[in-house]
Amino acid sequence: MEKIKVIGIRKYNLKGKDSLKEVDKLQRLAMRLRRGKPFFPVGVYRFKTFEEEDLWRMKILTGKRPEFPQ
C-alpha cells in the first residue's frame, strides 16, 4: 500500500454562530451580484441527454439566457 503525502492541513477557525454569520455574508453577496434573480429559472425542464442538460446548465451559470427546451 502506497503512503499518501500530505502537503498541508486546512484549518477552519469558524465555530458556532461565527460560521453562520460568514455564510450569511456570502449568501447576501451572491444575491447582490445576481440582483435578486435566482440562479436557475423556475420550472420543470426535460432534456433528451445528460450532455444537453449540462450545456444548458453551463449557459445559465455563465450568465447567458439559453432557449428553453420543449
pLDDT in tens, 24-39: 888 888 888 877 676 6
pLDDT in tens, 10-21: 776 666 667 788
Does residue 49 register a pLDDT over 80?
Answer: yes
End-to-end CA distance of the chain: 52
The counts of H helices and E strands in the chain are 2, 0
